[in-house]
Amino acid sequence: MRRRLEAALAALLLTVGIAHAADGPTLTRVRDTGVIVIGYRPASLPFSYLDAQLRPTGYTVELCDRIVAAVRTRLQLPDLEVRRVEVASATRMPLVSNGTLDLECGITTNTAERARRQAFSLTIFVAETRLMTRGGERVQGLADLRGQAVASTIGTTSIEHLNKVNEQQALGIRILGGLDDPEGFQMLRSGRASAFLMDDVLLRSLLAQQGPGADDYRISDQALTVEPYAIGLRKGDPQFKALVDEVLAGLYRSGEILAIYRRWFESPLPALGLNLKLPMSAAFRRVIAKPTDSPDPERYR
């Protein structure tokens, strides 16, 4: 009898071990701790920002909430705790890479270089970088700003592109880095910088907050780069990525993503009342029709 009990216990432990292995490291840790950790940005509307009760909200946050619901169902953990951690441009990716965050739910471009250190979900938005200037004729490219000061945000693909072009073309641009987008924009507002380089959707969100003062600024017609946004995940966990991607693909297949998009980009934002009035781009419509997690900008042109 004792031997039969020991054999049964060993079989049970083996079954549990196999089940945990099938879930991968992220879901296994979430099951064992009862906690999933989400990174959010406090002032990156409409993707991730704080509402009137100082709770994270926004487009990417809503997508992550759908993923958390799927995790609850998958692990049968109705009381799963969601721990939310504030991140910035400079801290978001290290916190994913070192395992602090399970989901990075802000605004992060999927690039081949970044994919060496972390994984990314299916693309959730497609932006383009542009230049914003104050008053006068809008500039179209960095060559128009030779010898001047240009601001961007530390830890972004925008400032990486700015550094690269400045060096390659010997433009003599003095690069100013803000800790976040509002700080970078303030450099333009105050006259310290002649232009602010950032993703077009974020430039529009900053202008929407200026009220009548938005008319003082111009955004370039010419796009400098293509930026496929995705949710950041830890590398080496295909099981968790598969779950995340299936949630997003399900929203795309059902068409529910269209209503979600309208809520955050074409309607007054909760707690703020601002409306970006930003129609969905042709590039993102193609992603919805044929989901991809490619970091290659050419896939989105």
Q: pLDDT value at position 271?
A: 81
- pLDDT greater than 60 at residue 9: no
**How many angstroms separate the CA atoms of 107 and 94, rounded?**
15
- Summarised one tens digit per residue, pLDDT across range 121-179 is 999 999 999 999 998 767 889 999 999 999 999 989 999 999 999 999 999 999 999 99
- pLDDT greater than 70 at residue 7: no
* Amino acid identity at 104: E
Q: Is the dihedral of CA 234, 236, 241, 243 positive or negative?
A: negative
- What Cα–Cα distance (Å) separates residue 53 from each residue in 45, 56, 57, 275? 16, 9, 10, 20
Mean pLDDT (whole number) for 55-62: 97
Any idea which of 93-107, 133-147, 168-182, 221-235 has the lowest mean pLDDT? Answer: 133-147
Q: pLDDT value at position 14?
A: 43
Q: Decide: helix, strand or coil at residue 72.
A: helix
Q: pLDDT value at position 11?
A: 46
CATH fold of 2-126+227-300, please?
A: D-Maltodextrin-Binding Protein; domain 2 (3.40.190)
**How many angstroms separate the CA atoms of 38 and 106, rounded?**
10
Going by pLDDT thresholds of 50, 70 and 90, the confidence category of residue 19 is very low
Which stretches of 51-165 are assigned E, i.e. beta strand? Answer: 56-57, 81-86, 103-104, 119-134, 149-153
The model carries a pTM of 0.88
- pLDDT greater than 50 at residue 16: no
Listed residue (96, 101, 97) closest to 82, CA to CA: 101
Domain boundaries, the chain: 2-126+227-300, 128-225
Radius of gyration of the CA atoms of the chain, in A: 22
Q: pLDDT value at position 1?
A: 58
Q: Could you tell me which residues come within 8 angstroms of residue 78 by beta carbon, excluding any fewer than 6 positions away?
A: 72
Q: pLDDT value at position 20?
A: 53
Q: pLDDT value at position 4?
A: 56
- Summarised one tens digit per residue, pLDDT across range 256-293 is 999 999 999 999 998 888 999 999 999 999 999 999 99
- pLDDT greater than 90 at residue 10: no
**How many angstroms separate the CA atoms of 122 and 286, rounded?**
13
- What Cα–Cα distance (Å) separates residue 91 from each residue in 27, 83, 99? 23, 17, 12
Listed residue (196, 191, 194) closest to 181, CA to CA: 196
Return mean pLDDT, the chain: 92
- CATH homologous superfamily, domain 128-225: Periplasmic binding protein-like II (3.40.190.10)
- Summarised one tens digit per residue, pLDDT across range 34-49 is 999 999 999 999 999 9
Q: pLDDT value at position 286?
A: 97
Other C-beta atoms lying within 10 Å of the C-beta of residue 113: 9
Which stretches of 2-68 are assigned E, i.e. beta strand? Answer: 35-40, 43-44, 48-50, 56-57
Please give the structure tokens belonging to residue 164: 């690269």
Q: pLDDT value at position 2?
A: 55
More confident site: 94 or 21? 94
Please give the structure tokens belonging to residue 217: 């600024």
**How many angstroms separate the CA atoms of 128 and 124, rounded?**
14
**How many angstroms separate the CA atoms of 135 and 192, rounded?**
14
Do domains 2-126+227-300 and 128-225 share one topology? The answer is: yes
Q: pLDDT value at position 8?
A: 46
Other C-beta atoms lying within 10 Å of the C-beta of residue 229: 22
Going by pLDDT thresholds of 50, 70 and 90, the confidence category of residue 21 is low
